Amino acid sequence: MKRAFSLALLLAVACGGDRRETPAGAGAPSGSSNKAITIKGSDTMVILGQRFAEEYMKNNPGVVIHVNGGGSGTGIAALINGTVDLAQSSRPMKDGEKADVEKKRNAQLNETPVALDALAVFVNESNKVHALTLDQLAQIYTGKITNWTQVGGADAQIVLYGRENSSGTYEYFKEHVLAKADFAPRTQTLQGTAAVINAVSRDVNGIGYGGIAYAQGVRPIGVKKDAGSPAVEPTEANVANGTYPVARYLYFYWISTASPQLQQFVQWATSPDGQKMVENVGYFPLPEKTRTSTQ
Amino acid sequence: MTSVDLDTTLTRRIASRSRRRFGEIVWVELLGLSIVLILAILGVIVADVVIHGAGHVTWTFISESPRQGLTEGGIYPAIIGTTFLVLLMTAAAVPLGVATAVYLHEYTPPERPKQAWKRFRAAEGPDRRKLFGTVLLSLLAKVTRSAVANLAGVPSIVFGLFGLGFFIQFVGRAMDAATQPAGQILWGQGNLLWAALTLALLTLPTVIVATEEALRTVPPELRAASIALGATRWETIRRIVLPGALPGILTGAILAISRGAGEVAPLLFTGAAYYLPFLPEALSSQFMHLGYHVLILSTQSPDVEATKPVLYGTVFVLLVLTFLLNLTGVLIRARTRSKLRAGG
Amino acid sequence: MNDRRKVDLTRGVKGRFIRDRLMTVVFTGAGWFAILFIALIFVFTFREALPIFTDPEVSKEANLHEFFVKRVEGETIEQQFVWQPVGEVPKFSFIPLILGTLKATFVGLLFACPIGVAAALFSSEFAPPKLREWIKPTIELLAGIPSVVLGFFALLVLASWLQNTFGFTYRLNAWNAGLALGIALLPVVFTISEDGMSSVPRHYREGSLALGASRFQTAWKVVLPAALPAVFASFVLAFGRAIGETMILLMAGGNAAITSFSLSDPLRTLSATIAAELGEVVFGDPHYSALFFMGTLLFVLTFVSNSAGQWVIGRMQRRMQGES
């Protein structure tokens, strides 16, 4: 028995040794003495943040960036509590939250839009419905319209998919589409926009909403301001010129006492290089005027 | 006439009996079928994961960080994060669990509180006070034992709540107030240490229960003989009791560790990270975790189809890890059992 | 073997006793330390839920009446009992969540209990010893599958299969989540039932067989009734496991808080609600306290059901030991 035990111990030590020899194989900076930049917040933006971090670390060896999701509210709460350096948010911060940050952290708060996002409404690719008015959307998501025939589709029950109540996407949709009314209880809340898309892509009667970057395998539909106006597709041009009614900025929030590394990173994110990543991920780059106004 | 009568009843009875036998065979087959069903479920899950996942597990997958929004690259940080977490958890849970079990089984009185109480009531003179201590200790042991046994069934998410409420909000915040400049937070957030301690508490009951069971298999006569030969209690424990109980303790510990390695719910609020490009450097670092990675890839990945290979690969690695741990535990037990059988 | 005898006697008696004293202190300390932590688990889970009763700010929005009784205006129960913790007027009804938990548990037990007991009976009464030696580790392997993997399997594979086969409107529903949960419960039911059946004294079986009963009759009419307390306990413990299980239900349940009794509707359980929402709330909020209260509720429920199960098992063990 003793032998077996020492064998196990040996194995553990061997594994440990092995590990220490190969951190270079991880293709990642390890053991850097710099304090890491921690990013947390919006699930809509976590993939953007991850790509930013990946690209930025490739070009700036020595800088280490952690990225975490959890929802815009989580990121903002963490910024207030001082557990992150940078909060990603898919909604603008509320005044109360801004005051909280400045009071608790005793520093000025900076808001930097980094990308433009259209909150697209998705249906399954086989769905006949191609456009909905804002009012129809609100009625669908509050549970007043329950069948696709009521909006010109096939005779089938509408299956609602949405986001967890901590997400900025949830709050944005609630505020701008539902006019602050509650979501129907039948809305299935999923952990990420990708999960919503995945569900709608498998569900012929499904409808979901989320950031445009994720739209793969589903069809974003046109949105009309009201019954008389034309349907607007969530394209870059329509979002940039303001005709698409459910579009928003995605933000970085950070405090002015942050490290120079963080400030450089934020600057890079809004630079042409960073904006290329925005397009890569599938969001829309900032219009020229916003880009300059934030610098 | 009567003999014919008898004959027919007999044949009828025999016939009905064989019909019953036939019915019984069907029933037994049905019972057996349930086993087949369970094995089939296990088989389908394992086959699905192996078919879709094994091919994706290459050296690059094991040794690289995730890339391209988690759809490419590997899961190296998650493997290492899980390993660190499990090692830390083991380091905390196994010694404490074994020591607690030894305390409960070797140091607290073996009698039930009721018996001790009776003896206390009957006793006279100076012995009384000592006996009262015995009553208290045996009561404590009993309460602890039942608390431990029940704690083993408390949902892991509740342990997550405790980790957040106690380690992070209470201990972590206090440590920050004492050691960090005002407003700075180092320990008051999820990290490797808090997650490992939370998991350690989760596995502690399993370790304690398994160790006590193993201690029980060591015959009391051996202890008595050792004491009679002049050994102290500690010498008896070290040289007689622990070696005898070691296989049982190891099995219990390994099974507990394998349970801890696959748990995700307690990590949700205690420090698992979505994406870290590097390995955790200190106890206060966040970490990536295989199980948490599975959750993220299957619910939050940006492109479900593109993520599928990575997802299945991660599930495969996680399954291999937990199965290996399980198998080790089962093998140790099987070996000691056959040894016991051969010896006894 | 040899050194064992030597060491004890070669060392000074005083040193040996000091060492013994020291180790007594160490073990007692460790024991008390662990006991302290077990007590802390109780205290701290309750502590964070306490503001519901003590803090007027919190209890204005989150209180027992709000959790269990309050109905908002609406025609159907679906509109009356609502869990909408974020909004202008937060609504904290636990009813849809409790219903979701119970629905998943029901399906899970419906699946796991008969199959688990049948498998246990087969393993303990009919399987040849060789086969039995294989069955038990295999079931342990099934028990070793992390629940996140079962959740993943239910989300990706099982849900599609069920929807294609039965044509459910909702892909993620109580059947899907419950069946996946059932897979996790199977080992619980099997192991405890099997232990109970194996511990039925041999003379029960011998007596029955000697009286002319067949093996099946013996298993069905003698062993199973004798092991009934263990079987019952296995159900109770499986129930405790089911209401607390998190990852499977978070991933495979659809997470819609609907006050509905239909098993083909999506569901949201108490545990999944904690998992999905706790990471995001502001500490000290009514929402935060409500989630901790939910945790406390789960704690108490599982603790009670476990105690009941353990008590039954303990009693049966003592009885069987007394008889054999």
CATH at C102: 1.10.3720.10
Is residue B305 scored above 80 in pLDDT? no
What's the pLDDT score for residue B17? Answer: 63
Mean per-residue pLDDT over chain B, rounded: 85
Rounded CA separation C86/C79 (Å): 16
- Closest partner residue to C169 among A71, A157, A182, by Cβ? A157
Region A7-116+250-293: CATH code: 3.40.190.10
Is residue C121 scored above 80 in pLDDT? yes
Q: Determine contact, residues C275/C246, Cβ cutoff 8 Å.
A: yes
In A, minimum Cα distance to B64 occurs at: A26
What's the pLDDT score for residue B3? Answer: 53
C115 in reach of chain B (CB within 8 A): yes
A187 in reach of chain C (CB within 8 A): yes
Count Cβ atoms below 10 Å from residue B196 Cβ, excluding itself.
28
Note whether C151 and C253 are same-domain residues.
yes
| CA–CA min distance C265, chain A (Å) | 8
Range of the domain at C45: 2-49
C291 in reach of chain A (CB within 8 A): no
Note whether C143 and C234 are same-domain residues.
yes
What's the pLDDT score for residue C71? Answer: 84
Spell out the SS3 assignment of chain A: CHHHHHHHHHHHHHHHHHHHHCHHHHCCCCCCCCCCEEEEECHHHHHHHHHHHHHHHHHCCCCCEEEECCCHHHHHHHHHHCCCCEEEECCCCCHHHHHHHHHHHCCCEEEEEEEEEEEEEEECCCCCCCEEEHHHHHHHHHCCCCEHHHHCCCCCECEEEEECCCCHHHHHHHHHCCCCCCCCCCCEEECCHHHHHHHHHHCCCEEEEEEHHHCCCCEECEEECCCCCCCECCCHHHHHCCCCCCEEEEEEEEECCCCHHHHHHHHHHHCHHHHHHHHHHCCECCCHHHHHHHC
Lowest model confidence (mean pLDDT) among B62-76, C83-97, C262-276: B62-76
- To the question of domain A118-240 being in CATH 3.30.360.30, the answer is no
Q: What is the pLDDT of residues B1-24, one digit of tens each?
A: 455 555 666 666 666 666 667 778
Q: List b or e across A66-86, with b for residues whose CB sees 16 or more CB atoms inside 10 angstroms.
A: bbbbbbbbbbbbbbbbbbbbb
Asked if B204 lies within 8 A of C47 by C-beta distance, the reply is no
Asked if C20 lies within 8 A of B234 by C-beta distance, the reply is yes
Q: Which residues of C touch A185 (CB under 8 A)?
A: 78-79, 82-84, 96, 256-259
Rounded CA separation B158/B163 (Å): 9
Asked if C20 lies within 8 A of B232 by C-beta distance, the reply is yes
- Closest partner residue to B278 among A19, A28, A69, by Cβ? A28
Interface of C with B in 218-247 (CB under 8 A): 220, 237, 240-241, 243-247
Q: Residue C217: what residue type?
A: Q
Packing angle of the helix pair B76-102, B192-217 (nearest 10 deg) = 40
B124 in reach of chain A (CB within 8 A): no
Asked if A53 lies within 8 A of B246 by C-beta distance, the reply is no
Q: In this structure, what DSSP letter does residue B275 have?
A: B
Low-confidence ranges of chain A (pLDDT < 70): 1-35, 70, 166, 213-214, 288-295
Average pLDDT over residues B311-315: 94
Q: Is residue C67 part of a domain?
A: no
Q: Is residue C70 part of a domain?
A: no
Q: Domain-by-domain residue ranges, chain A? A: 7-116+250-293, 118-240
In C, minimum Cα distance to B101 occurs at: C31
Is residue C1 scored above 50 in pLDDT? no
Rounded CA separation B160/C273 (Å): 13
Rounded CA separation C258/A159 (Å): 13
Is residue B293 scored above 80 in pLDDT? yes
Count Cβ atoms below 10 Å from residue C282 Cβ, excluding itself.
16
3-state secondary structure of C266: coil
Q: What is the pLDDT of residues B102-133, one digit of tens each?
A: 999 999 888 888 888 888 888 877 778 888 88
B246 in reach of chain A (CB within 8 A): yes
C46 in reach of chain B (CB within 8 A): no
Taking alpha carbons only, the member of A284, A120, A118, A106 closest to residue A207 is A120
Interface of B with C in 286-305 (CB under 8 A): 291-292, 294-295, 298-299
Per the model's pLDDT, the better-predicted residue between C75 and B193 turns out to be B193
Chain C interface test: which of B51, B157, B197, B236 (most C C-beta within 10 Å):
B157
- Percent of chain C clearing pLDDT 90 (strictly above): 47
Rounded CA separation B170/B164 (Å): 8
- ipTM value of the model? 0.88
- Percent of chain B clearing pLDDT 70 (strictly above): 88
Asked if A81 lies within 8 A of B275 by C-beta distance, the reply is no
What's the pLDDT score for residue B70? Answer: 67
Q: Is residue C227 part of a domain?
A: yes
Note whether C161 and C301 are same-domain residues.
yes
Per the model's pLDDT, the better-predicted residue between C212 and C149 turns out to be C149
What's the pLDDT score for residue B157? Answer: 94
Q: What is the pLDDT of residues A157-192, one digit of tens each?
A: 999 999 887 677 788 888 888 888 888 888 888 877
Is residue B322 scored above 80 in pLDDT? yes
What's the pLDDT score for residue C101? Answer: 96
Question: What's the structural domain count of chain C?
Answer: 2
Q: Which residues pair with A132 in a beta bridge?
A: A223
What's the pLDDT score for residue A20? Answer: 33
Interface of A with C in 251-270 (CB under 8 A): none
Rounded CA separation B81/B88 (Å): 11
Average pLDDT over residues C227-255: 93
Q: What is the pLDDT of residues C273-323, one digit of tens each?
A: 999 888 767 777 888 899 999 999 999 999 899 889 988 888 887 887 765
What's the pLDDT score for residue C58? Answer: 84
Average pLDDT over residues B309-336: 89
Confidence of residue B344 (pLDDT cuts 50, 70, 90): very low
Q: Is residue C71 part of a domain?
A: no
A19 in reach of chain C (CB within 8 A): no
Rounded CA separation A41/A253 (Å): 10
Confidence of residue B185 (pLDDT cuts 50, 70, 90): low
Which subunits sit against C, judged by 3+ Cβ pairs under 8 A? Answer: A, B
Q: Is residue C39 part of a domain?
A: yes
Per the model's pLDDT, the better-predicted residue between C243 and B271 turns out to be C243
Q: Which residues of B touch C156 (CB under 8 A)?
A: 298
Q: Which residues of B touch A104 (CB under 8 A)?
A: 183
Asked if B31 lies within 8 A of C122 by C-beta distance, the reply is yes
Note whether C41 and C131 are same-domain residues.
no
What's the pLDDT score for residue C9? Answer: 52
| CA–CA min distance A115, chain B (Å) | 17
What's the pLDDT score for residue B124? Answer: 79
Q: Is residue C238 part of a domain?
A: yes
What's the pLDDT score for residue C310? Answer: 86
Evaluated on CA atoms B265, B268, B269, B273, the torsion sign reads: positive
What's the pLDDT score for residue A28? Answer: 34
What's the pLDDT score for residue A136? Answer: 92
Q: Which two tokens stand for residue A133?
A: 């008015």
In C, minimum Cα distance to A158 occurs at: C169
Q: What is the pLDDT of residues B26-39, one digit of tens each?
A: 888 889 999 999 99
Q: Which two tokens stand for residue C29?
A: 């300390």
Confidence of residue B302 (pLDDT cuts 50, 70, 90): low
Rounded CA separation B45/B6 (Å): 58
- Percent of chain C clearing pLDDT 70 (strictly above): 95
pTM of the model: 0.83
Asked if C279 lies within 8 A of A74 by C-beta distance, the reply is yes
Highest mean pLDDT among B57-71, B143-157, B231-245, B293-307: B231-245
Mean per-residue pLDDT over chain C, rounded: 88
Q: Which residues of B touch C215 (CB under 8 A)?
A: 24
